[in-house]
Amino acid sequence: MSDVGDDGPRYVLGHSDRELERLAAQARLIDPITRRFFQEAGVAAGMRVLDVGSGAGDVAFMVAEMVGESGEVVGVDRSATAVSAATARVAATPSTNVTFVAGDPAELAFDSPFDAVVGRYVLQFQADPAAMLRQLAGHLRPGGLVVFHELDWSGSRSFPSAPVFDECRDWMSETIRRSDAEIHMGTKLHATFVAAGLPAPTMRLEALIGSDASGPLQLMAGLAPTLLPTAERLGIAPAGIDPETLLETLAGDVQANGAVVVGNYQVGAWSRV
């Protein structure tokens, strides 16, 4: 279990400056997938939306575009550091319909109900994700929408095998698992929604795929420096990892083996209360 201060006991990734930069780079690759999930779920202009686990605000700013000036987005994160970074971004953008609050989104009180509660890569870090969903649903108006985008690491693979990539995937996923996060949260969303007392969700699955130094390789190389200290402490990091050259190493491995790499499953789930 990782102790990361105001992020709570289960959040292994933290909110260092480097991690916030990584999240921004991740958003550029993943936002189109999240947007498709949210659009199909019914997030639309004029809605009042609660974004939970906002981090530096990438999802909140995307949803602010979707709901437009007639809508509103409130982003919440347990980390005061992340909320400070997100709030600073508001001043640097034309967005006037998004605000950020520090605290536990399941416990906070709001002045009016929301049309939708959304989140990306949040439930995997919760000790009881069903209980969190149940509490979050209490912030919705009748007929309100619950939409979450989560990962499943079992989707990540190379064809044919690229050994360096496979080894990197294995120690990274094991590091997250041993830090008490759920590496199969995406495919567990159905059971989680039902356990929370919500209607069985509609679900969609996408994945990044490629063979060059972009897409899934870029995501993996970006995440490695954040996870490496924990992996070393747990004794599961291979020797000789250089985070600064990892992307080049991974790309060379994939190309040398004529491989194609599939990234983690990206799973969206949604239902109305």
Q: Which amino acid is at 201?
A: P
Provide the pLDDT for residue 8.
45
Report the predicted TM-score, pTM, of the whole model to 2 decimal places: 0.91
| Domain contains 251 | no
Provide the pLDDT for residue 13.
53
Provide the pLDDT for residue 5.
36
CA distance 50 to 72: 9
CA distance 191 to 198: 10
| Domain contains 237 | no
Residue 215 exposed, middle or buried by CB count within 10 Å (0-12, 13-18, 19+): middle
Q: Taking the chain (273 residues) in consecutive chunks of 10 residues, what is each chunk's mean pLDDT?
A: 39 59 80 97 98 94 96 96 91 87 93 97 96 97 98 97 96 95 97 98 97 90 91 92 93 96 98 96
How does 160-180 read in b/e, with b if 16+ C-beta sit within 10 Å? Answer: eebebbeebbebbbbbbebbe
H/E element, 108: none
| Domain contains 200 | yes
Distance (Å) of CA 272 to CA 59, 100, 190? 20, 24, 13
CATH number at 150 reads 3.40.50.150
Provide the pLDDT for residue 259.
97
Contact 209, 16 (CB under 8 A): no
| Domain contains 203 | yes
| Domain tally, the chain | 1
Tokens of 18: 């480097």
Domain hosting residue 89, numbered range: 5-155+181-209+264-272
CA distance 176 to 113: 34
Provide the pLDDT for residue 22.
73
Residue 147 φ then ψ, to 5° = -135, 125
| Domain contains 199 | yes
| Domain contains 173 | no
Provide the pLDDT for residue 7.
44
| Domain contains 172 | no
| Domain contains 221 | no
